[in-house]
């Protein structure tokens, strides 16, 4: 199948009452949950609240947003929910620039109030990081849009450069075969220039069936990230950081680092799949109609009809060859034809009388 464009995906999902209801139900449930409420990005749409709860801790090239009042000031991990428009988690089947190529996912909120508030909070946390650096050090804030639709994107590196390895744990983390079937990433690790760390590991899971006694749904791990499809309703967990880029003229880049993806519901993915199948059938039918309408027979010959015999033209050119002017020959022929036509008219008149 040809696949749907990003704009058409958003249009199909936006028009679905079920999709909008599922997202609204999820965000409302998270807002009312004592366990989940405090980690919802949308809950911090206030500068004073952000300064009260968060602060910035620097280590190496990184500046982390951490919990200000928690023991040990751990890094803040926040959540946002929406529908997947695009994602990439591999597989890596050829050598690529690992400093540029990243795992990433982009979601939209279809006008959901909590999603819109979350995007506003991103700017507020950006300002918190900006104020922790010298004036002008931070790169400008860049909002994410899919066409004209507000969106959220989080990403994670496939591997960590050896110069940054000390900042992250490496024990207990291993590359997924589904992401590295050709062992290209493993060979990069073996070269000593990269390592696979906690910063590269993205937890992937899907909510299972509800427990018959408690009604609680527990997530089941996913080994293959290709299972994540456009249209899936997901909850993303991520951290917010800045990283120093460059050595001589340095700049601080704002990073939304992806930590985990939980698939909540696949209704939207099925909706997009069905629409793609319908469009594919329509494309096939149109192609068949066009093929049938083609005229595959050989073109007909264009023949010019004439009542003058070829021998008449031969006689004319023989006359010219004897020294006569061609116009004189054609005038003579015209007079003879005119006299013949007058004779025919006279005969017809006599027959009518």
pLDDT of residue 44: 96
Considering the domain architecture, whether residues 258 and 331 belong to the same structural domain is answered as no
Q: Which of 284, 299, 332 is the last residue of a domain?
A: 284
Considering the domain architecture, whether residues 99 and 155 belong to the same structural domain is answered as yes
320 belongs to a structural domain: yes
Q: What is the 3-state secondary structure (H, E, C) of the chain?
A: CCCCCHHHHHHHHHCCHHHHHHHHHHHHHHHHCCCCHHHEHHHHCCHHHHHHHEEEEEECCEEEEEECCCCCCCECCEEEEEEEEEEECCCCCCCCCCCCCEEEEEEECCCCHHHHHHHHHHHHHHHHHHHCCCCCCECCCCCEEECCEEEEEEEEECCEEHHHHHHCCCCCCCCCCCCCCCCHHHHHHHCCCEECCCCCCCEEEEEEEECCCCCCEEEEECCCHHHCCCCCEEEEEEEEEEEEECCCCCEEEEEEEEEEEEEEECHHHHHHHHHHHHHHHHHHHHHHHHHHHCCCCCCCCCCCCCCCCHHHHHHHHHHHHCCCCHHHHHHHHHHHHHHHHHHHHHHHHHHHC
Considering the domain architecture, whether residues 326 and 276 belong to the same structural domain is answered as no
Share of the chain above pLDDT 90, in %: 57
pTM for this prediction: 0.78
Considering the domain architecture, whether residues 265 and 337 belong to the same structural domain is answered as no
Considering the domain architecture, whether residues 322 and 217 belong to the same structural domain is answered as no
224 belongs to a structural domain: yes
pLDDT of residue 107: 97
Residue ranges in the chain whose pLDDT is less than 50 = 1, 345, 348-353
Question: Residue 103: which of 153, 67, 58 has the closest Cα?
Answer: 153
305 belongs to a structural domain: no
302 belongs to a structural domain: no
pLDDT of residue 353: 44
Considering the domain architecture, whether residues 253 and 146 belong to the same structural domain is answered as yes
Considering the domain architecture, whether residues 278 and 338 belong to the same structural domain is answered as no
pLDDT of residue 342: 55
Domain of residue 334, residue span: 310-352
Phi, psi of 93 (to 5 degrees): -110, 0
User: How many domains does the chain fold into?
Assistant: 2
pLDDT of residue 26: 96
193 belongs to a structural domain: yes
């Amino acid at each position: 199948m040809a696949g749907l464009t990003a704009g058409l995906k958003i249009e199909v999902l936006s028009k679905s009452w079920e999709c909008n209801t599922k997202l609204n139900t999820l965000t409302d449930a998270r807002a009312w949950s004592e366990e989940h409420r405090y980690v919802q990005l949308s809950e911090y749409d206030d500068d004073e609240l952000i300064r009260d709860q968060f602060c910035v801790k620097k280590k190496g090239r990184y500046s982390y947003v951490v919990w200000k009042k928690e023991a040990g000031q751990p890094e803040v991990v926040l959540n946002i929910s929406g529908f997947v428009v695009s994602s990439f988690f591999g597989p890596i089947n050829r050598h690529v620039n690992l400093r540029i190529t990243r795992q990433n996912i982009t979601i939209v909120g279809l006008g959901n109030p909590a999603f819109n508030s979350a995007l506003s909070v991103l700017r507020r946390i950006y300002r918190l990081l900006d104020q922790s650096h010298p004036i002008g050090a931070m790169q400008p804030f860049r909002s994410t849009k899919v066409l004209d639709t507000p969106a959220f994107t989080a990403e994670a590196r496939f591997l960590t450069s050896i110069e940054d390895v000390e900042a992250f744990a490496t024990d207990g983390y291993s590359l997924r075969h589904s992401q590295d079937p050709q062992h290209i990433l493993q060979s990069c690790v073996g070269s000593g220039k990269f390592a696979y760390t906690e910063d590269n590991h993205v937890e992937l899971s899907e909510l299972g069936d509800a427990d018959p006694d408690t009604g609680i749904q527990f997530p089941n791990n996913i080994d293959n990230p290709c299972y994540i499809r456009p249209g899936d309703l997901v909850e993303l967990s991520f951290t917010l950081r800045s990283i120093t880029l460059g050595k001589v003229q340095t700049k601080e880049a704002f990073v939304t680092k992806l930590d985990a993806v939980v698939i909540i519901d696949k209704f939207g993915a099925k909706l997009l799949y069905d629409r793609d199948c319908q469009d594919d059938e329509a494309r096939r039918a149109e192609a068949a109609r066009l093929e049938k309408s083609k005229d595959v027979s050989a073109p007909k010959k264009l023949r010019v009809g004439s009542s003058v015999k070829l021998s008449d033209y031969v006689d004319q050119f023989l006359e010219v060859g004897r020294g006569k002017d061609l116009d004189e020959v054609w005038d003579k022929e015209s007079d003879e034809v005119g006299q013949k036509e007058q004779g025919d008219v006279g005969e017809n008149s006599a027959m009518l009388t």
